[in-house]
Structure 1
Amino acid sequence: MLKVNNLSVHYGVIEAVKDVSFEVNEGEIVSLIGANGAGKTTILQTLSGLNKPSKGEISFKGKNIHGIPPKKIVNNGISHVPEGRHVFSDMTVKENLEMGAFLRKDREEVKKDTARVFDRFPVLKERIGQDAATLSGGEQQMLAMGRALVSQPELLLLDEPSMGLAPLFIREIFSIIEDINKKGTTILLVEQNAKVALEISNRGYVLETGNIVISGTGKSLLESDEVQKAYLGG
């Protein structure tokens, strides 16, 4: 579904991502793990059109999306939930979800998808008229995910969905991610909580200073001595 070949990204003279290649197959959950500054967020931002690659190829469903505008990438079926959630704090829950459907014309289907979001995140329905700023961190994460789902993505990019959340909310968010995947959405996940991410992932890639240094199934990475020592406290 998604193929990345020899991707490099620069910030000025700094090469943040160096000749990275990986793929995400339809129906998978794939994790990118690594320390802060490894290049994980830069990769997601490049996939969603927010960064311009220095070189390399990015294809989605066989179509080149290298360097095309973010709006067109969303139209092609990729949605991005950024690190730190970035909900529209002065808008209500309902208005935030409407922003997720901004590019859609099928209003009746949008209503159905919004209803599905409320089925998946009942707390958002309870808070439908509240400003997003009044929600807890976990509720804002649910809203950011719900907003992305209203755009009908085939591939969902999730950047640090557990950041700043209490342990109870972390388990709930990851359970929801698994459910979203089981309902047909492919997921590329960037996550500092490597253990929980790999537990739900079909496959994973480990990044260090802009390079992929290890790859494998979620299970094999969980059992890897190198990964355990570096990321799992083993």
Structure 2
Amino acid sequence: MLKVENLHVKYGAIHAVKGIDLEVKEGEIVTLIGANGAGKSSTLKAISGLEKAAEGSITFNGQPLNKLSARNIMKLGISHVPEGRRIFAGLTVLENLEMGAYLRKDKAGIKEDLKKVYSRFPILEKRSRQDAATLSGGEQQMLAMGRALMAKPKLLLLDEPSMGLAPILVQEIFSIIQDIKAQGTTVLLVEQNARMALSIADRGYVLETGKVVYAGTGEELAESEEIAKAYLGG
């Protein structure tokens, strides 16, 4: 479904991603783990068109993405939930969700998907008329995920969905990610909580200073002593 080959991303003199290869197959949860500054978020931004690749190729269902705008990449079926949630303050929860569907023209389908988002995140329906900025961190994360799902993506990019959340909410977010996969959406997940990420991932890649240093199934990576020492706290 998604193929990234020899990807390089640069910010001026900073070489953030240095020749990454990765693949995401339809129906998988694939996770990228690694320390801060390893190049995980930059990889997602290059895939969704928020950053331009300096080198390498990105293809989605056989279509090259390198020269496409973020808007056109979204049209192909890729939604990105950025780090920090980036909800629209000053708009209500409902208006934020409607923004997720702004490229769609199927009014009946949008209405149906709004119902699905509300059934998955009941708190958002209760808060639908509230300014999105007044939501708690966990509620804002649910809103950011719900907004991305309103675009009806084939591939959902999630950047640090558990950041700053209480442990009980982290469990809930990861359970929702598994449910999103079960409903037929493929997920590429960047996550600091490596243990949780590997527990739900079909496959994973470990990044270090812009390069892939390990790759394997979620189970293989979770059981590796080297990875446990470096990323799983022992």
The two structures have a TM-score, normalised by structure 1, of 0.99
Q: Deviations over 1:22-68 (max 9, x none)?
A: 10000000000000000000000110001011110000001111131
Residue in 2 that maps onto 1:33: 33
Q: Deviations over 1:60-116 (max 9, x none)?
A: 001111131000000000000000001001110000001001010111100000110
Distance 1:126 1:67 in 2: 41
Residue in 1 that maps onto 2:95: 95
Distance 2:57 2:4 in 1: 6
Identify unmatched segments of 5+ residues in structure 2.
none
Residue in 2 that maps onto 1:49: 49
Residue in 2 that maps onto 1:217: 217
SS in 1 for 2:35: coil
Residue in 1 that maps onto 2:182: 182
Which residue identity does 1:128 align to in structure 2? S
Percent of aligned pairs with the same amino acid: 63
Distance 1:148 1:39 in 2: 22
Q: Deviations over 1:172-201 (max 9, x none)?
A: 000000000000000000000000000000
Deviation at residue 11 of structure 1 after TM alignment: 0.6
Q: Deviations over 1:190-230 (max 9, x none)?
A: 00000000000000000000000000000000000111000
Correspondences of 1:63-102 after superposition (within 5 Å): 63-102=63-102
* 2:189 paired with 1:196: no
Is contact 1:53-1:67 (8 Å) kept? no
SS in 2 for 1:42: helix
Distance 1:141 1:102 in 2: 20
SS in 1 for 2:105: coil
Distance 1:58 1:91 in 2: 34
Residue in 2 that maps onto 1:163: 163
SS in 2 for 1:16: strand
Identify unmatched segments of 5+ residues in structure 1.
none
- Which segment is superposed worse, 60-69 or 72-81? 60-69
Correspondences of 1:107-118 after superposition (within 5 Å): 107-118=107-118
Moved over 6 A (4+): none
Residue in 1 that maps onto 2:129: 129
Q: Deviations over 1:95-145 (max 9, x none)?
A: 000100101011110000011000000000000100111111000000000
Distance 2:139 2:87 in 1: 11
- Count the aligned residue pairs: 234
Distance 1:72 1:195 in 2: 34
Alignment root-mean-square deviation, CA: 0.5
The two structures have a TM-score, normalised by structure 2, of 0.99
